[in-house]
Structure 1
Amino acid sequence: MQQNHSILIAGGGTAGWMTACLMAQAWPDAQISLIESPDIGIIGVGEGSTPSLKAFFQQLNIPDSEWMSACNATYKTNIRFINWSPASGNSSYSHPFISQLDTFSEKAFYSNCFSRRMGLDFETSPNKFFFNSYLAKAGKAPITPAHFPFRIEYGYHFDSALLGQFLRTKALQLGVTHWPLTIESVTQEPDGRIKALICNDGRVLSADLFVDCTGFSSLLMQKTLAVPFQSFASNLFNDAAVVLPTAALAHLPVETTATALSNGWAWQIPLQHRTGHGYVYSSAFTNADKAELELRTQLGLVDSAVQARHLKMKVGQLQQHWYKNCLAVGLSQGFIEPLEATALHLVQTSVQIFIDQYQFSQATALQQQQYNQQISERFERVRDYIVAHYKLNSRDDSDYWCANRANTELSDSLLQILDCWYRRHDLDQEIKRQQLSSHFGTSSWHCLLSGYGIYPALVATQDQLEKRPDPYQDLQLDAFFSACLLNFMPQQQLLTIYQGT
């Protein structure tokens, strides 16, 4: 990019300031500005991440010790799903982030899952095969000592508002211009491209490229450029949430919990200064008052004066994420409910792919088409993984769960994955055939399907069991991972060290 190329980001928050940081680092000669209204707060639906946020901070050379204390953040190694599939016989299962250490155990997990798919009685609990589950159970931070030769992947829990403020400071240090103003109107060129944003103080801000980070309102892409929105409501029913904070936990977990309730699910996200709780539900099956009461009842806060916050969610994606001279990022481009904490991952991915592909002087319709196909594909495949959580549930306690299980609005990709599993074909090969590893890979799908107990009835005799090897037992994985745990310190101890630096 040449020095006179200008980029104007409309909207701040975590998505806006993350975009500003990535673009400013990639294009130090560009004129990058961000306008955000001081009157609009951060929605903050969920405050968790995938390991991609770790890569983001590493890319910007920001150590955990610098930002985590500023944002009251904690580590996240695992998501534990509670009461989603009572027919499995397990009250919960784990979906851990996959680390380098798991190269010793992944194939053992696949092998045992296949044996169980054949009707043999083998250990298939995900938490027994992945090291991050052991970290979660022990409450230990996923930071490796210098002498430990394996890389551990992890995400974070964080305060959304504080993270937005932290990234704003970093963006300003990278040369981004900040306009704390409100957008009053948008003007367009004769060919429909965005020309300028008119501010509440009369200022006119123009640019070569505009980035829409205005949230669900999608001021530039939907309201100005009339880009259609593709709803996912036919197979993702949840469209609302109620949020309640409680005091910080005495011992901070390194995992998120997602507990199934009558018409959705509730998260618990442990931060250093408080514990975040939220109930994600479908307004077609319950209402805000009933949802709030159910969450309060679960938390023991029925008579509490703590105020709840109610949110509406617009689940789906734009038909085009890059249109004319505007790029949509964050909630303005789309949203998939917070079940697997993919929101920031999709923000980061969308911006990074755009940076890799965008050349201002050579931008073409073909480039836009290829980019839009790539990002839309990522949204759809993440959606499939989330949809599977609902489709495969075995709850019978409400119309909501029965309707999810009866839902037939499934993509061909998801149908092929399920068909492969039920027919006892090689799931790893199917994931590779569909090129799904950049979304949710083989281990993630095995965790979900095994955790839900998607298996036939046991048919094995003791003789059959003895003839088939059991790599979980042969590799002595429990002893191996337990020994590895000795190299890690409790999370609280490490966070205390960070606070002193």
Structure 2
Amino acid sequence: MNEKISNSVPKSIAIIGGGTAGWMSAILLKSNWVNSKVILIESPDVPVIGVGEGSTPALKYFFQSLNIDEKEWMKRCNATYKVGIQFPNWSTVPGYESYFHPFFSALDSQTSTAFVKQAKKWRQGERVNVLPDNFFVAASLAKKHKAIITKKSLPIELDYGYHFDSALLGDYLKEKSIERGVIYQEATVDSVIHSDKNIDSLVLDTKQTVTAELFVDCTGFSGVLVNKALKRDFHSYSDMLFNDAAVAIQTPKVTEQLESKTISAAMSCGWRWQIPLRNRDGNGYVYSSKYLSSDEAEQELRSVLPEQGKGCHARHIKMRVGRLNEHFLGNCLAVGLSQGFIEPLEATALMLVQYTVMSYINGVENEYSAEKLNKKINDQFDSVRDYVVCHYKINSKEGKYWQDCRENNSISANLNAILQAWTSSDDFESSYKELLGDSAYAKASWYSILCGMGLSDLDIEARTTLDSLATKALAYCEDTAELFIDQAELFASDTTR
């Protein structure tokens, strides 16, 4: 099992399946290995799932690494800037019913230090304000509907993500991939010729036989190569994450205002997203079919939509939550939904695609073993899973679903230890370094969720009104936010965007 991924860069690569995952894989592989032949085969009969329309800051670095102009791709994909996620209704702790998970920057250097100090005081029993919304510039940007562009240049650049039309993004990446030499073929895989762990060839409905040194499975939940043919083991997260279905509805814009945040609001048996694009909003409800029927979920989602969206088409999706144990084995790499899925509470889907492909590229170039590569990807998936599970484990909502989430003890040892460290007198800083040093989430993100949801085993509650430190921090954040341009005004005034 310690054999190298490959003795050399694969000279021929066949990607099966398109969508955002397929085309992200294609352009990354071709751009890094320009002399390799890369072909993407996409079936015209398979619809793209494509509901995820938010990102982490990793997408910014994806485009930068490819030297793709931000203005161009954003305009083509109706994209907006995203500075973080608002989480309403996850907690019933007074003053902490909603919190903001920001993207961080050097602009927060002093206020983030104050936030951590404040959290330490609270954990020791002082009644102080620990709502992250008061300590980070991104939260003030979101409150004021600001983009990440300043009126005058600053020496510091923010970390930020995007909201985008996923179908348009897939089309855009397809165009850019083909420009860079990726070969595109529209065909359906009729049969997969394989041995124990290797793909030998593919037979298409055109009767063509396709061979390659590397096969990449981007065929979604069906997993044509890794699931149906190679039957790789799947590690389910269903014991930790109960949600297994979603309903998505696109609605027209009802206001000229353009938010720079995603809303992830708790519902009766899950949560709903609201994602602002330039021309419409993306809405969806992620829920557990054990507690709610698809009709009930759709009705509950429609009840919170604006009047203009009540008649819009609803799309229902079943989700397989978890990951493969082996993302790469033999000569086949799984990417996207074929390799695994974690509900989009923190908008991590494209980040995991990018992480998987770049880990494979680095693994080949640095002679990783397949075991090392798979562990690296699994650790990233499990790290994201733990952060998502944390939302459910520490919720304080009423209702059978939320009570079951809270009382569910099927959580990882790492998450259990970090929650114990937080609610005890342990040194949380040391615990974080020991348990979460390689986490997909920075320390400030863990502080944000634990403080933001008001988690404490002490009798004393976090202060709901501003104390002097929170007042100073918020004033700084509000003043700094005024240096930035309103998002709607930015796109209205700059036609190049």
Query: Could you tell me the TM-score, scaled by structure 1's length?
Result: 0.93
TM-fit CA distance, 1:119:
1.8
TM-fit CA distance, 1:39:
2.3
Change (3 A) 1:36 1:460: closer
TM-fit CA distance, 1:226:
1.1
Q: Distance in 2 between matches of 1:4 and 1:454?
A: 49
User: Which residue matches 1:370?
Assistant: 372
Q: Residue deviations 1:67-86, cap 9 Å, x none?
A: 11100111110100011111
User: Which residue matches 2:490?
Assistant: 494
Q: Residue deviations 1:255-311, cap 9 Å, x none?
A: 000111111111100111111110100001111011111111122559943221100
Q: Residue deviations 1:104-149, cap 9 Å, x none?
A: 2222111101111122111211011111111101111112466311
Q: Residue deviations 1:35-88, cap 9 Å, x none?
A: 111222221232100000011011111122101110011111010001111134
Is the counterpart of residue 270 in structure 1 residue 272 in structure 2? no
User: Which residue matches 1:405?
Assistant: 406
Residue 385 of structure 2: which of 383, 386, 404 is its match? 383
Q: Residue deviations 1:386-430, cap 9 Å, x none?
A: 11101111111x211111011000111001110110113332332
Q: Do the aligned partners of 2:250 and 2:309 also contact (CA within 8 Å) in 1?
A: no
The one-letter amino acid paired with 1:458 is: I
Is the counterpart of residue 115 in structure 1 residue 121 in structure 2? yes
Q: Distance in 1 between matches of 2:186 and 2:137?
A: 45
User: Which residue matches 2:167?
Assistant: 161
Residue 394 of structure 2: which of 367, 392, 395 is its match? 392
User: Which residue matches 1:210?
Assistant: 215
User: Which residue matches 1:224?
Assistant: 229
Q: Residue deviations 1:156-197, cap 9 Å, x none?
A: 1111100000000111111110111111111124x5410111
Q: Distance in 2 between matches of 1:392 and 1:55?
A: 32
Q: Do the aligned partners of 1:148 and 1:487 also contact (CA within 8 Å) in 2?
A: no
User: Which residue matches 2:261?
Assistant: 255
Residue 62 of structure 1: which of 54, 62, 68 is its match? 68
Q: Do the aligned partners of 2:15 and 2:217 also contact (CA within 8 Å) in 1?
A: yes
Decide which moves more: 2-11 or 374-383: 2-11
The one-letter amino acid paired with 2:402 is: W
User: Which residue matches 2:204?
Assistant: 199
| Paired positions, count | 486
Q: Do the aligned partners of 1:111 and 1:471 also contact (CA within 8 Å) in 2?
A: no
Q: Do the aligned partners of 1:3 and 1:31 also contact (CA within 8 Å) in 2?
A: no
Change (3 A) 1:303 1:251: closer
The one-letter amino acid paired with 1:422 is: T
Q: Do the aligned partners of 1:3 and 1:29 also contact (CA within 8 Å) in 2?
A: no
- Does the residue aligned with 1:259 lie in a helix, a strand or coil? strand
Q: Do the aligned partners of 1:47 and 1:269 also contact (CA within 8 Å) in 2?
A: yes
Q: Do the aligned partners of 1:384 and 1:414 also contact (CA within 8 Å) in 2?
A: yes
Unaligned residue ranges in structure 2 (runs of 5+): 1-6
RMSD: 2.1
Q: Distance in 2 between matches of 1:241 and 1:454?
A: 28
TM-fit CA distance, 1:219:
0.8
User: Which residue matches 1:293?
Assistant: 299
Over the matched positions of the two proteins, sequence identity in percent amounts to 44
TM-fit CA distance, 1:492:
1.4
- Does the residue aligned with 2:149 lie in a helix, a strand or coil? coil
Query: Could you tell me the TM-score, scaled by structure 2's length?
Result: 0.93
Is the counterpart of residue 75 in structure 1 residue 103 in structure 2? no
The one-letter amino acid paired with 1:379 is: F
User: Which residue matches 1:415?
Assistant: 416
Change (3 A) 1:173 1:452: same
User: Which residue matches 1:346?
Assistant: 352
Q: Residue deviations 1:12-56, cap 9 Å, x none?
A: 100110011111111001111111112222212321000000110
The one-letter amino acid paired with 2:256 is: A
Q: Residue deviations 1:355-404, cap 9 Å, x none?
A: 11115xx96xx7100000111111111101111101111111x2111110
TM-fit CA distance, 1:458:
2.3
TM-fit CA distance, 1:434:
2.5
